[in-house]
Amino acid sequence: MIRSNELLKSFLEGIRRAAGAERSALYLPGGSHLAHEPMLVTTGCGEAVGELEDPDRAATLVGKAIGGENATCWSVVEDGGGVLFFAQLATAERFPDGGVETRAGPERRESEAEGAALSLAESAWLGLRFAPGSSAEGVRLAFEEARNLAVAQRLPPHEVLPWLLALVATVASQTRLLVGLLHDPVTRLVGRSELQILLAESLRLARKSGSSIALLLVNPDNFAAVNEQYDRPTGDRVIREIAVRLQRGVRKSDLVGRYGGAVFAVLMGAVKGRNAQSVARTLARRMSAQPYLEERIQLDFSIGVAEPQPGPGGEDIEAALDILHRADRALSTAKMSSRHRVVVWRPQLEREGGEPLDRLRGIFTGDIAKDYRNMLLLWETVAAAATSGFPQLAARVSQGISRSFQSDRLAVVGLDEEGRLELVAASEKSGGSYEQVEVPLEEMLGPQHRSLVERAVASGETVEGSVSAGQPPEARSALAVPLLVGSRCVGALYLEGHSDGLRPDRSDRMFLQALAAQVAVASDRDRLLEHESQRRERDQRQLRAELEQLTTLLGGGELVYRSPQMQELLTSAQRVARTDATLLVTGESGTGKELLARTLHRLSDRRDRPLVVVDCASVAPSLFESELFGHERGAFTGADRRAVGRVGEAGGGTLVLDEIGEVPLEMQSRLLRLVQDKQYTPVGGARPRELNARIIAITNRDLAAAVAAGRFRQDLYYRLNVVQLEVPPLRQRPADVEFLAGHFVELFARQHGRSAARFSKAAVQALERHDWPGNVRELQNRILRAVLLGQGRELDPSVLGFEGDGGNRPAAPAEIAPAPSPDADGLSPWEELRSALVPQVEEALAAGREAVPLARWLADDLVLAAEASARGNNLRAAETLGLAETTFRERLRRARAGRPHGVAART
């Protein structure tokens, strides 16, 4: 490879010959864009040119402009045998038409708007030594030819020397720019591309001279911790330290380069076999001896060693790629081993597998044309994979590869679910362009072609061969590259063309393998997405089937019944469902009032609109208005955003006010306007809003009695009680008991994966005799318990929770429970409670004592005791106290909140 000094020498030699000089020298000081470091280049033979004899003497010229007013002049060299020229170089201006005009002094163009000026105002010294007898006057004559060239460029004669120096300096600058692109910018070492070229050249010279070389790939094991702990500039500092220490640890004749990332390459000559391994181990110890980054980071190093294989050598580039591949394989093995930090490549490493460290293997070959083609094709593939599916990607890849490798036909072949070949995309050359073709696989690939593809798929390796085609048959080259995802093959790329056109070398095959890996990943991703889509579709079908089964079991989501009482209720419900009249659904707790409300919504014209259920008993009084009607932003502390409220959510649908009888008296007035005028105003709002929703109220209270007792507003009651639907308790419809029990057995058995058992004769009798104070909810819970705890094919009374009395239990408590019967001592539980409470009340009301909230304490204790006796079953505990379940839950929450204070806080 031509370096910058060699290129300058070729130009300087031209100047020397044009001047008739015996020896020439050019010195460019450092610190400018022309030369980062001082540069001294000499050509010719004979004695050195005075002050330009060596870099140290030439450095004394810096800052010493020779001459007066003119920026360019000359003087005789110290010993009088030559001439030394100093030049303040001219300014080269680049104009829009692409030409370059060089001017200096007052004649320089005043308008710089036509193009961007590239300033070359830098100093340079040119020294020429002439043969004995020459004089300074002869120098001017020697430049006559150069002046003639300057005239052709419209330059005045006195600018000949600056023009020549500007030409040399420009070449130097551009050459250094090119070298900088080839070198790593962090370490100033040769980069990957130049390393491959130098490696190929070294292999050629080694084969020619019969000498030996070895390639070492050096990599710190724990460098990832540096990037995680520090920033990127710090990581670059460590990389530079590694480069410096690596250069000091090898011979000056050895080439050190940065192969990529934290991987360095050392090309060593005159080493072989055990000697190379010994050198690598010594180098690893030296590299790990001292910490890095001011002794803050300790790094250990692994080294992979490879040598050229004996036998006839192929192309230099291919041989370079081979040795790089072997060194990379050895390095990856060294990094996986905890005992061997240095590994020399051997054939067994290829069979042991393992991921290579070099992920760009096959992409960069050192051939600029190939590298550009490879990067362009790889970029197109990656971009297409990110924006399209696999069939579209395969179509683009087939055309791109065909154009790049001059193949007449290309096919992307995949594997179906049963492992059979299927054609994904294909392209053929038609005239001077490539076109997509859609043909069957048998028409695209004959038996010979399929054989190559099948071998590539089976072996997971690239297969090359010859096939015959056309009339008369002619031999053609063919190549099948497997699409590998890890060790699994998902298809192949098939290329075919004339033998003189399709001639891929090793670097081409390596690139096709790298490209095929990207295509394989896209294919596998597309397959996984398809499988995921199919899985979701199967899950949705299964969910829909289960939903249909549950809907069937639940009677289409409506009330499940057989009794004439429920049939009469549903007939009334159907008559009023399609109206917008306000409905009041009443009945005991657990009878299915909310389910009836949902059935009314499904039967109405608003079935496609929202159904919003508001549990009025669970809403705190202080939040009641905001919860129902919503609020504006900033209406109160913490209202940082607008809320539409539950009423607003029901727009166009149905609003169900559950447990309407539990609404505190002071909140009922706020509901009156909503029910009466269908208007509401959000908290903090200025204008009322219209409610376009049907209202259904639910309660287990006797609202008429509550109105008479002053606990419920009479006007609100009349507005709610437009149409009243009362759900009968389960004890009044015995025909539904056994029917519902069988329905719940089948439902819960399906939900919990149990077999559906039948009831024993004794269990049926127990179900019929029981009074069901908890109604359908109690029956549902008993059946669930029986399904979970039952064994065998029959369910007996014990698993239903019935005792030996056959299931007889007292009637459900009303709002005011009847007095219990006396116990064996002749005292009823009420009398026992009275005798226990009276002394406490009298003591609390004694003189000198403050009144204490005995009623609240007793209510809390009753709720907690009911919850404990029911073993956490809130429904059973609520039935014990004669409360609605939602009311019981709210009171239990308040009681638990006060529990931390405990009895200790009570007198």
Closest by CA to 99, choosing from 109, 89, 86, is: 109
The residue ranges of DSSP E strands in 561-639, in sequence order, are 583-586, 611-615
Q: Is the pLDDT of residue 108 over 80?
A: no
Contact between 310 and 339 (Cβ < 8 Å): no
Q: Is the pLDDT of residue 135 over 50?
A: no
Q: Which pLDDT does position 107 carry in this prediction?
A: 38
Distance CA 661, CA 700 (A): 8
SS3 466: strand
Q: Which pLDDT does position 583 carry in this prediction?
A: 94
Q: Is the pLDDT of residue 848 over 90?
A: no
Instruction: Average the pLDDT over each of 566-580, 622-636, 850-864 and give the range with the smallest value.
Output: 850-864
Instruction: Average the pLDDT over each of 313-317, 436-440, 634-638, 736-740 and give the range with the smallest value.
Output: 313-317
CB neighbourhood size of 530 (10 A) = 12
Q: Is the pLDDT of residue 722 over 60?
A: yes
Instruction: Average the pLDDT over each of 429-443, 444-458, 890-904 and give the range with the smallest value.
Output: 890-904
Q: Which pLDDT does position 373 carry in this prediction?
A: 62
Query: For residues 135 and 76, which has the higher predicted lDDT (pLDDT)?
Result: 76
Q: Is the pLDDT of residue 308 over 80?
A: yes
Mean pLDDT (whole number) for 360-373: 55
Query: For residues 233 and 549, which has the higher predicted lDDT (pLDDT)?
Result: 233
Contact between 373 and 508 (Cβ < 8 Å): no
Q: Which pLDDT does position 179 carry in this prediction?
A: 52
Q: Which pLDDT does position 380 carry in this prediction?
A: 66
Q: Which pLDDT does position 644 carry in this prediction?
A: 85
Contact between 660 and 698 (Cβ < 8 Å): yes
Residue 556 in tokens: 């289409």
Q: Which pLDDT does position 811 carry in this prediction?
A: 40
DSSP code of 631?
Answer: B
Closest by CA to 515, choosing from 363, 386, 368, is: 363
Q: Which pLDDT does position 361 carry in this prediction?
A: 52
Instruction: Average the pLDDT over each of 12-26, 348-362, 646-660 and give the range with the smallest value.
Output: 348-362
Q: Is the pLDDT of residue 89 over 60?
A: no
Cβ neighbours of residue 501 closer than 8 Å, sequence gap 6 or more: 406, 407, 408
Query: For residues 402 and 172, which has the higher predicted lDDT (pLDDT)?
Result: 402
Q: Is the pLDDT of residue 494 over 60?
A: yes
Q: Is the pLDDT of residue 167 over 80?
A: no
The one-letter code for the residue type at 603 is: L
Closest by CA to 477, choosing from 505, 458, 455, 454, is: 505
Prediction pTM value: 0.38
Q: What is the mean pLDDT of the chain?
A: 75
Residue 785 Cα to chain centre, angstroms: 47
Closest by CA to 412, choosing from 430, 398, 399, is: 398
Q: Is the pLDDT of residue 725 over 90?
A: yes
User: Tens of pLDDT along 540-570?
Assistant: 766 766 665 555 444 444 578 888 899 899 8
Q: Is the pLDDT of residue 438 over 80?
A: no
Mean pLDDT (whole number) for 682-688: 83
Instruction: Average the pLDDT over each of 330-339, 376-385, 853-862 and give the range with the smallest value.
Output: 376-385
Q: Could you tell me the pLDDT band of residue 656, with boundaries at 50, 70 and 90?
A: very high
Distance CA 632, CA 643 (A): 7
Q: Is the pLDDT of residue 155 over 70?
A: no
Instruction: Average the pLDDT over each of 497-501, 782-786, 824-828 and give the range with the smallest value.
Output: 824-828
Q: Return the C-alpha torsion angle 50, 51, 52, 56, nearest 10.
A: 130
Instruction: Average the pLDDT over each of 117-121, 367-371, 747-751 and give the range with the smallest value.
Output: 117-121
Residue 77 in tokens: 């060299």
Mean pLDDT (whole number) for 267-288: 87
| Angle between helix 506-553 and 368-387 (nearest 10) | 10
Q: Is the pLDDT of residue 43 over 50?
A: yes
Q: Is the pLDDT of residue 746 over 50?
A: yes
Q: Which pLDDT does position 224 carry in this prediction?
A: 75
Mean pLDDT (whole number) for 339-359: 68
User: Tens of pLDDT along 45-68?
Assistant: 777 877 788 888 887 776 555 444
Cβ neighbours of residue 132 closer than 8 Å, sequence gap 6 or more: 81
Cβ neighbours of residue 872 closer than 8 Å, sequence gap 6 or more: none
Q: Is the pLDDT of residue 815 over 70?
A: no
Q: Is the pLDDT of residue 698 over 80?
A: yes
Q: Return the C-alpha torsion angle 627, 630, 636, 637, nearest 10.
A: 60
Q: Is the pLDDT of residue 113 over 50?
A: no
Task: Find where tokens 């400018």 sit.
Answer: 32
The residue ranges of DSSP E strands in 89-133, in sequence order, are 91-94, 100-103, 117-118, 123-129
Query: For residues 216 and 669, which has the higher predicted lDDT (pLDDT)?
Result: 216
Instruction: Average the pLDDT over each of 724-733, 771-780, 861-870 and give the range with the smallest value.
Output: 861-870
User: What percent of the chain shows pLDDT beyond 90?
Assistant: 11
Q: Could you tell me the pLDDT band of residue 2, with boundaries at 50, 70 and 90?
A: very low
* Most confident stretch, 111-115, 251-255, 883-887: 251-255
Mean pLDDT (whole number) for 500-524: 76
Q: Is the pLDDT of residue 804 over 60?
A: no
Q: Is the pLDDT of residue 115 over 60?
A: no
